[in-house]
A and B are shown apart, each in its own frame.
Chain A
Amino acid sequence: MPEKKQKKSAVLLDGNDLTNRPKENELEISIFGPGYGECVLLHIGRNNWIVVDSCVFPGDNYPTPLLYLDKMNINYNAVKAIIATHWHDDHIKGISNIFSACKNAEFICSDALKNQEFLELVETYGNCVIAEDSGVKEFHEILKVMIERSEKDKINYTPKFAVADRHIWKSIFKDNNGDNITTNLYSLSPSDAAILSAKLEIMKCLPVQNEHPRSIPAISPNHASVALWLSFNDINILLGSDLEEKGNPNKGWSVIINSKTRPNGKAILYKVAHHGSINAYHPKIWEKMLTDNPIAILTPFSKGKKLPTIEGIQKICSKTSNAFITGNPFSKKKFKRHHLVEKTLKETTGKIKMITPSYGHVRIRIKSKNKYSIELFGNATTLCNIK
């Protein structure tokens, strides 16, 4: 492919005022990456917010999107929807706290979880010590809040399920100039085949009588994850979640690309799927669903394997010069601790690495297709500079 000379966006580096609220007619996309996991916070106009997944920054126990709202002095009632794209630990850590704190928000999750087996799994493991810090525990807490609400105020106690090509949110506001701000949110996945496979996988995880409980493994490949398409007036963005692609025409990105019922248009911003892994790369996403030289943002994954790989970075950077990442996946930052512990670790295991060595926040505020700002906080950096 001939290399085009692409124009880079102007980037404002760390040091900007994090506390500035977006203007009422601005779309904000804030992506938080704690080094392991991610969260996206969307401002859809007139102080209305949508949280997609949740994460917690190292050394903290409070969900990052709520800390950010606190920083801007925004009431949690401004959050209108909370979306759990899938149930992997790294994407929903702290989401039950968000749901509990944001009483005006409805809860949306993958249709692949809409089955009795998943509830059984949550109910058995949710009370088991083995599920501490896990996605199952988060869902267990969410169910508790829903039951409580169903008995008391009867508000936002039923979940909404996201499935391929479903219109899951609509809002229309008038800004100060009297112009309409219309926001539409669509789920692009999971497909019918992915829902069925996920149910079978969940059944495999159910407890078996007379067997010892074990942590629930992450289901791979992740085809049940919810990819999202947001339209804000004439601006489109694509949030890829952790959706993967294995060349199966009935699952993953292939279904979305070939769908005739998905929303029209091309997105100017792409939250790259599955931390920029090769497993989630599909060239047609870039050709059919995104504008030329779009803004691409991703979060690293550092737990044993590191994502994105150099190959993954090269693929993204061949498509856009406006790619940003919330932290460097190859950071070799080591944890500081007592010298006796270090000495013992060297003798017992040579290989111990921090899961969260590099983390930060990328904030993009869009007024129109050609008028936007990109701000990087913490360890966030330009992707194509990473070697």
Chain B
Amino acid sequence: MPAVQSKYDFFHNYEDIQAQNSTYAQRQFLLEEHMEKMPDEIIKSYLNKELEEEKSDKIDYSYSNNTQFIERKKTPVFFIESNPLLERAISLQKWRGIVEEVNKNFFKAKLINLTDKGFDEYAEISNDEITQEDTELIKPGAIFYWSIGYSHSSTGQRRRFSDIRFRRIPIWDEKEINIARKKAKKISSLIGWQ
């Protein structure tokens, strides 16, 4: 892969950058999700795994000829706490969407890629993908979050999920509008906007 000389060379090595970005982002998200959903000890053991492997390679076997001991060292036994499995979800792709056009059975939206920043997309999304309580929010200008990934149930089953949630933003209140109006007047006299 050709080395990237500077940020400006992004469009020269498009494929490589994209491949690199997507793998990196997925890894980051997996790690973040693990951190949120799993106990700290498991995360630490995962992060220290390579370190432990390195250490185990450096074990000095020379002081003993006891083969049994060496075998035990090579195949260590781990005791795992038998706590019930926790339900957890791992997101592989996230977008922030802005509804731009609403049709009878679908809507069109700009998708801001939150996993690979800068690589935004545009999609047609069927209304069937939206939960009943969010359907009334499908209007031009509405904001939603779309996450795709997989979840692990408490019984260990893995399922894919696609979750679209519309953002409920508080209504404009009089106070808020008046404050903005006053501030706008102040700015206009301060910098000569008018």
Contacts and interface: CB of A to CB of B under 8 A. Distances in A.
Interface in A185-219: 207-217
A133 B177 CA distance: 22
B120 interface: yes
Interface stretch (A96-104, A113-121, A272-280): A113-121
Contacts of B176: 124, 207
Given A335-B18, A336-B18, A123 B172 contact: no
Contact of B172 (A158, A213, A348, A350): A213
Contacts of A159: 191-193
A68 interface: yes
B8 A338 contact: no
> Which interface class (under 10, 10 to 19, 20 to 34, 35 or more) fits A?
35 or more
Interface string B161-194: 0100001010111101100110111011011111
A344 B129 CA distance: 12
The interface residues of chain B, by DSSP majority, are classed as mixed
A124 B172 contact: yes
B118 A304 contact: no
Contacts of A115: 194
Nearest to B190: A150
Interface string B114-142: 01111111111110010000000001111
A352 interface: yes
A78 to B, nearest CB: 17
A291 interface: no
Contact of A119 (B96, B108, B184): B184
A74 interface: no
Interface string A213-227: 111110000000000
Contacts, number: 195
Contacts of B169: 128-130, 212-213
Nearest to B6: A71
B108 A304 contact: yes
A59 B143 contact: no
B43 interface: no
Nearest to B5: A71
Given A60-B118, A337-B92, A379 B172 contact: no
B19 interface: yes
A352 B93 CA distance: 14
B134 to A, nearest CB: 13
Closest 8 CB pairs of A and B: A214-B141, A119-B184, A378-B11, A215-B141, A123-B180, A352-B123, A124-B180, A351-B124
25 contacts: A56-B118, A59-B10, A67-B6, A71-B8, A115-B194, A120-B184, A123-B181, A128-B169, A158-B191, A159-B191, A159-B193, A207-B177, A207-B180, A211-B171, A215-B143, A335-B119, A335-B121, A340-B92, A340-B160, A347-B162, A350-B124, A351-B124, A352-B111, A353-B123, A354-B120
Given A210-B172, A303-B122, A350-B124, 19 more contacts: A59-B118, A67-B7, A71-B6, A119-B187, A119-B188, A124-B177, A143-B187, A146-B187, A207-B172, A207-B180, A210-B171, A212-B169, A215-B98, A303-B110, A335-B119, A337-B115, A340-B160, A349-B129, A378-B11
